[in-house]
Amino acid sequence: MNKINTDVNYRKMAGNARLVIIAESSHNPASYKYEAMRALKQLKAAGFTHFAMEMLPLKIKEKIEFYQRTGKGFDAIKLHFKENWNWNSAASTGYGELVKTANSVGLKLSH
C-alpha cells in the first residue's frame, strides 16, 4: 500500500525554480485538485505570481480577466468547465475551485 504524504512542502520543493508544473494522472479525482490548491497557496508564498491551466483557453480570456478584476463572472468560467471538462461533477467543480483558489491567493490566471 502506498503511503500518502500529507506534509509536502511545495515551497521547499520548488527551490529556485521560476516555473513549477503540477500534473494529474487523471482528470477525474478531486483529490488531485485539492492537493494542487494546497500547492498554490505555498507557491504564492514562495513568490510565484501566475497560474495557468490547459483548461483555460484563449477564447475565455476576457471572462477570466473580468473575474480577476471584479470578482464577478465566475459562473461563466464554471459553465466553461461544465461544458468542456465535465467527465463527472468532481472534475469540473475541482477545476473551478482551483481557479477560485488561485484568484483568492493573488495569482494571475493565465491561459
Residues 61-86 pLDDT 10s: 999 999 999 999 999 999 999 999 88
pTM of the model: 0.84
List, in sequence order, the alpha helices (H) in 1-111. 10-14, 30-45, 61-70, 74-84, 89-104
* Domain ranges across the chain: 10-110
Between CA 87 and CA 66 the distance in angstroms is: 27
- Structural Rg of the chain based on CA atoms: 14
Burial code (b: 16+ CB inside 10 Å, e: under 16) for 25-42 equals: eebeeeebbebbbebbbb
Residues 33-43 pLDDT 10s: 888 899 999 99
